[in-house]
Structure 1
Amino acid sequence: MSLLLLTLFLGLLVLGAPVAVALALPSAVVIITEGLPVSVLAQRSLNALDSSPLLAVPLFILAASLLNAMGVTTHLFDLVRMIFGRFRGALAQVSIFVSLIFSGISGAALADIGALGKIQIDQMKKQGYREDFAAGLTVAAATIGPIFPPSIPIIIYASVANVSAVKLLLAGIVPALLLTVLLMVQVAIVARVKGLPRDTIRPKPIDVAKKFVVSFPALMAPVLLIGGLMSGYFGPTEVAGVTVAYALVIGFGLYRTLSIRRVMLALRETVEATANILFIVAAAALFAWVLTLDMVPMKASAFLLSLTDNPLLLLLLVNILLLAVGMFLESIAAILIVAPIIAPALVQAGVDPLQLGIVFVLNLMIGLLTPPVGMSLYMISIITKMPIGTVIRGVMPFFIPLLVALVVVSAVPALSTWLPNHLMQ
């Protein structure tokens, strides 16, 4: 059963079928050929979507679309540039820091690239940065988004692995800050060794103050979101709803850059993005259910535990597996397929579920930068009209801080577990 399922799945992927189709069609074929009720197709798909944490996905997408539509990304970029623009390589550092701030709004790497990528790269090219360096830095910094709350991949992982979504979102804060620091350290070293340009901006204190006032409502969005999660009064869905309401209030009442037309465009983008994600969720649920019928998760758990029962060694093996999976599978599909198979074995071996969730997502975000299915690479290539080879060449040096962050997060569980356990005892 599993052999037929996996053969059809890989065959459809090779033929270029959409991931959701490659998941759903083999599952349907196996269910029919095994003589199982066809009603299972609808039942399992709908059960997968009947999840409260998943309600946060469209709301976070809508909040990011609304904030992007009102132009807050430009204000944030200008403010950080005014504050830190006097150092060598400052514009590259600004790009990383703005990615961290915007990650507290968007929840997805591709959303960060779409909102910030062209602004960041154009500014760096104007100041004399090489285009491959600018592109590589931008896609590397976008990996912060899915680790720092809100994170759509983390919410989906939590729903699949039966982990508290609030705790898992909080678990991503320290690893995301670590990743930010490591990227900034690398840029500082490159700036010193290769003499990256200094920023040309020389603002007066009054200009910085004015820009801060303009940017303040946008800066409060991630504060509101993270504060809501930390307070314990809101779950991911409630926080997402409050963030949408906040975006509408500041968009219409303060910035006055939102219009009914822009809201409708944001809603359309949200529907399209949510439909793509939830189609994959429903299809992957069928796929995982067929694998479960054939006891694949149990067999995989037994196999992994037969190799070693050392949690650190198991995490190392899983890192290697996930880095390979991330090269060929879209991240959400990979979470939905692989997490139910390997998570039980690692938790049984003593790996903390919160640490495992962050390691899992970080691996797959690195996969967004690796060909042949590195979606971040293709997206930055499309929005900047830069050859894909140039983008790949630029991102290669930034694998160093990304992999160092992965190793540290894998080796030190407290980086992921301390904050949520301390706040939610």
Structure 2
Amino acid sequence: MELAIVVLLVVFFGLLLLNVPISFCIGLATLATILLSVDFMPAVTTMAQRMAGGINSFALLAIPFFILSGLIMGRGGIAKRLIECAMALIGMLPGGLALVNVVSCMFFGAISGSAVAATSAIGSFMLPEMKKQGYDVNYSAAVTAAAATTGMLIPPSNILIVYAIASGGVSIAALFIAGYLPGILLGVALMIVCAGYAKIKGYPVGARLPLKLVVQKVAAALPSLFMIFLVIGGIISGIFTATEAGAIAVVYSLILAVGFYREVKTTELPGVLMKAAETTAIVMALIATSSAMSWILSYEQIPQAISAAMLTISENPLLILLMINLILLLVGAFMDMTPAVLIFTPIFLPVAVELGMSPLHFGIMMVLNLSIGLVSPPVGSVLFVSCAIAKTRIEAIIKPLMPLYLAMFVVLMLVTYIPAISEWLPAQFGF
């Protein structure tokens, strides 16, 4: 087992340092580890079988549907209307534009299920506007990146679907409902930081709009926001599954973007479909190779060894959970969320269950934790997108990110040690 761990880690991190794509790092490290036990052809065959088995799941069909609906929404003028709605509701508060940025990312993340999509769509509108109003460009980029992570918790979220598969039976519907309170709590914490920062820096306060105009802006955004109720309401009521909800989201987003708002032309749809196919292929490659790695970890009984080792260090649940969080924060800084969830769920979930933590609660904690990795160098994908839009450097936005990191960490600790934040809402719906 010791040799398997060494080979797995050396090959994985060696390839990662050479800038090899993460799915190839995972796949080749797994294959090298399998080769320790069997010959080349059986190893390759086993690897192929495990990869195919990893993506042979009806629940995973929801991911390409939600990716496609998110892309259509992103091009369909949805972001602009959500921003105008948020501006009308809270733009007059201290640090109004920063607060609007956070709320808009929460809205759009809840619709698209993608932090990168939220960063791109909202950032493209908000960053130039914040710069025009005198906000520091690095601070604006930091706010956009941090706020976009709320979409990982507020459903529909693709990563929650991945966790449901990795955990071996947690209800996707229960995870979707469980994500609401932590996601909103995260957004509120970021807004508190933004309001305080605006007071210190003396950023301008937006004008209060007439009630009639506020109603108009909210009404214009309601068709977009209705998608949240359509998808989640249908899943909770049992009318359709999460996968069927994804298909319905695609149909609804098409009706909205092509027919109602008329922001997307039918001639643009092939390009959107191609982009959705590319994104889906990347995600599925990650899931396939990560599933193979999870299998070899289980075969070598590595999760059991890690669990036993952690429980021998201490039997204090508070300390063990803190250790798990710190490890996941480090992992999130170097690895994409999808493989991290698939690889580390089988390792840490048994430990958490042993400590009395429910798989539902652990899943929300894990996703929130790894969401921080999306805005953490050196690999944070959301960080790169936000910097590219703002035309700034990653090192320049780390300082303004610090208070936002602190807010996210405080929320992570609250979610970790107060199970009711994750479990209360699902319990009200009978999960």
Shorter-chain TM band:
over 0.9
2:10 pairs, out of 4, 7, 15, with: 7
SS at match of 1:197: coil
**Cα drift, residue 191 of structure 1:** 2.5
**Cα drift, residue 251 of structure 1:** 2.3
In terms of mean alpha carbon deviation, does 122-131 or 380-389 score higher?
380-389
Matches within 5 A, 1:107-256: 107-162=113-168, 163-199=170-206, 203-256=209-262
Whether the 8 Å CA contact 2:163–2:363 is kept in 1: the answer is yes
SS at match of 2:379: coil
Matches within 5 A, 1:230-309: 230-309=236-315
Residues 345-395 of structure 1 show CA distances to partners (whole Å, capped at 9, x for unaligned) of 211221111111011111111111211112221111122221222222221
TM-score (norm 2): 0.94
Residues 42-67 of structure 1 show CA distances to partners (whole Å, capped at 9, x for unaligned) of 21111000112211111111111111
d(CA) in 1 for partners of 2:292 and 2:13?
16
**Cα drift, residue 202 of structure 1:** 5.5
Using the aligned pairs only, state the percent identity: 37
Task: Say yes or no: does 1:22 pair with 2:25.
Answer: yes
Amino acid at match of 1:31: I
The count of aligned residue pairs is: 424
SS at match of 1:87: coil
SS at match of 1:77: helix
**Cα drift, residue 214 of structure 1:** 2.5
Amino acid at match of 2:187: T
Amino acid at match of 1:235: T
**Cα drift, residue 278 of structure 1:** 0.7
Task: Say yes or no: does 1:365 pair with 2:371.
Answer: yes
Structure 2 gap ranges (5+) = none
Alignment-derived partner of residue 74 in structure 1: 80
2:108 pairs, out of 102, 124, 128, with: 102
Task: Say yes or no: does 1:390 pair with 2:396.
Answer: yes
**Cα drift, residue 33 of structure 1:** 4.3
Whether the 8 Å CA contact 1:251–1:257 is kept in 2: the answer is yes
**Cα drift, residue 222 of structure 1:** 1.4
SS at match of 1:95: helix
TM-score (norm 1): 0.96
Alignment-derived partner of residue 427 in structure 2: 421
Amino acid at match of 1:348: E
**Cα drift, residue 417 of structure 1:** 0.7
In terms of mean alpha carbon deviation, does 233-242 or 357-366 score higher?
233-242
Q: CA RMSD of the aligned region, Å?
A: 1.6
Amino acid at match of 1:5: L
SS at match of 2:410: helix
d(CA) in 2 for partners of 1:328 and 1:405?
22
Whether the 8 Å CA contact 2:111–2:225 is kept in 1: the answer is no
Whether the 8 Å CA contact 1:228–1:239 is kept in 2: the answer is yes
Whether the 8 Å CA contact 1:9–1:26 is kept in 2: the answer is yes
**Cα drift, residue 271 of structure 1:** 0.7
d(CA) in 1 for partners of 2:335 and 2:259?
42
SS at match of 1:145: helix
2:354 pairs, out of 319, 333, 348, with: 348
Whether the 8 Å CA contact 1:135–1:394 is kept in 2: the answer is no
